[in-house]
Amino acid sequence: MTTQPIEVTADDARYDALRRGFNQRWIAEPDYIVVATSADDVVAALDKFLADPAHVSRRLTVRSGGHCYENFVSSADVAVTIDVSQMNRAYFDPSMNAYCVEAGATNWHSTTQLYRKAGRALPGGSCYSVGSGGHISGGGYGLLSRLFGLTVDYLYAVEVVTVADGKKAKVTLARKDSRDAALRDLWWAHTGGGGGNFGVITRYWFRDLPSPPAQVLLRSVAWEWKDLLKRPDLFKSLVRRYGQFFEHEQAGTGPDFIRRGYRDMFTLLKLTHVSNGKVGLIVQMDGTKKDSPDRLKAFLDHLTEGFAAGPGPHVAQTVLDRQMGEHSAQRELFIPTLLPWLTATQSLNESGPNRCGKYKSAYHTKAFTEQQIDAIHHHLT
């Protein structure tokens, strides 16, 4: 017997919560939200949507974790939203000889289930509540990505509910090695393009997933804005050297110490507004390498050259003792701390509270220019 998926309408107590995502700037007013628990639910929801002539000029959108920061999922022209967050398992699928992650699984679901069962990890993002559905199709980038690459580098197959004829939905399985060229193209379309949908993603499969380091070395530090305001040259030096370090590290140029290898190091430089009171830095490295403490010190010494020497006021290194972006205070990590990878991931795995904001991100392959550094300093102060 075929069952219909759960539909949450405006007279349901759940409606107000389910019509919005993480960014409270965008709140939709759909006719209803479908809470899908299987690919069959998605097929039924799509067939119903397509059969209703009232939906011709309005959109159907999909949500897994709700972290789409623009109005692509929640906006005035949305008629129906399909929520796949209840499809949240991660497991080894012997029929595919691959690890399966369902589209509604969050980063925390996939992290805990894959690591505890198999000692493997997706090199995905560090915000625990981001859903796999959109995160992976956008590339999947996180704290392990400098060491292991993008999540989609390991993507073997994707299950998508498609509507090729514009009338009837069907479950489509696209593999990297599908015999049909159109299916290979559909697989390829989910390896980092992001932004657009070719259907409703319900499952991903991955092969040859890496094993993360058993231990990682963490450190968090901060600098007082009141000190940096007196020494804008040192703030600009910090930003300049930060960008230059990674440009040199990638190209194999620059100071000799950089060539010792830093692919296992992932950092987050928190350039907060002056009203926060501090600027911060979070560092994670492979803790199984004996030279990691020395490499960490060399990196920090490079960033802060001149902070505690020379004429004029000095800028002291201090604790990261307040919220910065999605990360909470990390006083205990002022001392370099060795932790199991899963424990460290849990410590850093935050999203912060829901917000109303405007977001933009970009990948840099070069260090900041002087014009960019001046603009950063001007707007943050």
For 96-116, how does the pLDDT look when each residue is reduced to its tens digit (9 = 90+)? Answer: 999 999 999 999 999 999 999
Angle at 307 between CA 303 and CA 309, to 5 degrees: 130
CA-to-CA distance for 265 and 46, rounded, in angstroms? 44
- Structure confidence by residue, pLDDT tens digits, 150-203: 999 999 999 999 999 888 999 999 999 999 999 999 999 999 877 667 999 999
340 has pLDDT over 90:
yes
Place of tokens 């657009």: 196
Range of weakest confidence among 54-63, 78-87, 238-247: 54-63
Task: Looking at the structure, tell me whether residues 254 and 328 fall in a common domain.
Answer: yes
With cut-offs at 50, 70 and 90, classify the pLDDT of residue 348: confident
Give Rg (Cα) of the chain.
Answer: 23
Residue scoring higher pLDDT (91 or 363): 91
Contact 240, 246 (CB under 8 A): no
- Structure confidence by residue, pLDDT tens digits, 265-302: 999 999 999 999 999 999 999 999 999 999 999 999 99
224: containing domain: 215-351+366-380
Task: Looking at the structure, tell me whether residues 31 and 158 fall in a common domain.
Answer: no
Looking at 181, 206, 231, the residue that finishes a domain is 206
39 has pLDDT over 90:
yes
Task: Looking at the structure, tell me whether residues 270 and 231 fall in a common domain.
Answer: yes
Contact 71, 26 (CB under 8 A): yes
1 has pLDDT over 60:
no
Report, as an integer, the average pLDDT of 64-92: 94
Give the domain CATH number at 53.
Answer: 3.30.43.10
In the DSSP assignment, the letter for residue 181 is H
Residue 361 lies in a domain: no
CA-to-CA distance for 253 and 270, rounded, in angstroms? 25
**pLDDT for the residue numbered 365:** 85
Residue 358 lies in a domain: no
Residue 250 lies in a domain: yes
Residue 279 lies in a domain: yes
Task: Looking at the structure, tell me whether residues 22 and 136 fall in a common domain.
Answer: no
List residues bridging with 224 in a β-sheet.
278
**pLDDT for the residue numbered 195:** 65
**pLDDT for the residue numbered 56:** 78
- Structure confidence by residue, pLDDT tens digits, 122-135: 999 888 899 999 99
**pLDDT for the residue numbered 297:** 97
Record the tokens describing residue 346, joined without a space.
């849990």
Task: Looking at the structure, tell me whether residues 107 and 229 fall in a common domain.
Answer: no
Residue scoring higher pLDDT (2 or 194): 194
Tell which residue, 97, 104, 191, has the closest CA to residue 139: 191
Residue 255 lies in a domain: yes
With cut-offs at 50, 70 and 90, classify the pLDDT of residue 69: confident
Residue 15 lies in a domain: yes
* Torsion on CA atoms 198, 199, 204, 205, rounded to nearest 10: -70
**pLDDT for the residue numbered 287:** 97
Task: Looking at the structure, tell me whether residues 252 and 371 fall in a common domain.
Answer: yes
- List, in sequence order, every beta strand (DSSP E) within the chain: 6-9, 32-35, 59-63, 78-83, 90-93, 98-102, 155-162, 170-175, 200-206, 215-224, 266-270, 278-286, 317-318, 337-340
What's the whole-model pTM score?
A: 0.93
Task: Looking at the structure, tell me whether residues 55 and 23 fall in a common domain.
Answer: yes
Of the chain, the percentage scoring pLDDT greater than 70 comes to 99
234 has pLDDT over 80:
yes
Coil, strand or helix at 267: strand
The per-residue DSSP string of 217-236 comes to: EEEEEEEEHHHHHH-HHHHH
CA-to-CA distance for 29 and 79, rounded, in angstroms? 7
Domain count, the chain: 3
351 has pLDDT over 80:
no
Task: Looking at the structure, tell me whether residues 56 and 99 fall in a common domain.
Answer: no
Record the tokens describing residue 355, joined without a space.
């917000």
Task: Looking at the structure, tell me whether residues 332 and 223 fall in a common domain.
Answer: yes
CA-to-CA distance for 247 and 87, rounded, in angstroms? 40
Task: Looking at the structure, tell me whether residues 184 and 232 fall in a common domain.
Answer: no
With cut-offs at 50, 70 and 90, classify the pLDDT of residue 311: confident
Task: Looking at the structure, tell me whether residues 344 and 221 fall in a common domain.
Answer: yes
Looking at 64, 83, 102, the residue that finishes a domain is 83
Task: Looking at the structure, tell me whether residues 253 and 283 fall in a common domain.
Answer: yes
Record the tokens describing residue 183, joined without a space.
């299916």
Residue 357 lies in a domain: no
Of the chain, the percentage scoring pLDDT greater than 90 comes to 83
Burial class (CB in 10 A: 0-12, 13-18, 19+), 124: buried
CA-to-CA distance for 290 and 188, rounded, in angstroms? 39
Looking at 61, 83, 105, the residue that finishes a domain is 83
CA-to-CA distance for 234 and 228, rounded, in angstroms? 7
What mean pLDDT, rounded, does the chain reach? Answer: 94
Report, as an integer, the average pLDDT of 222-230: 97
- Structure confidence by residue, pLDDT tens digits, 50-64: 999 888 789 999 999
Residue 356 lies in a domain: no
Give the domain CATH number at 131.
Answer: 3.30.465.10
